[in-house]
Amino acid sequence: MPLIEWSENFSVNIPSIDEQHKKIVHMVNELHEAMITDKGNSVLGKIFGELIQYTKTHFSYEEKLFQTYGYPEAEDHKQSHDALTSKTMALQKDFETGSTTIMFEVSDFLKSWLTNHIQGQDKKYAPFLSSKGVT
Which residues contact ligand FEO (rule: CB under 6 A)? 21, 58-59, 62, 77, 81, 117-118, 121-122
Compute the least distance from the CB of residue 59 to ligand FEO, in Å. 6
39 or 124: CB nearest ligand FEO: 124
101 or 112: CB nearest ligand FEO: 112
Give the whole-angstrom CA distance, residue 99 versus residue 95. 5
Per-residue burial over 69-99, b = 16 or more CB atoms within 10 Å of its CB, e = otherwise? eebeebeebbebbeebeeebeebbeebeeee
Give the whole-angstrom CA distance, residue 106 versus residue 129. 31
Compute the least distance from the CB of residue 98 to ligand FEO, in Å. 30
Compute the least distance from the CB of residue 41 to ligand FEO, in Å. 28
Compute the least distance from the CB of residue 25 to ligand FEO, in Å. 11
39 or 78: CB nearest ligand FEO: 78
At residue 112's C-alpha, the angle toward residues 119 and 120, to 5°, is 20
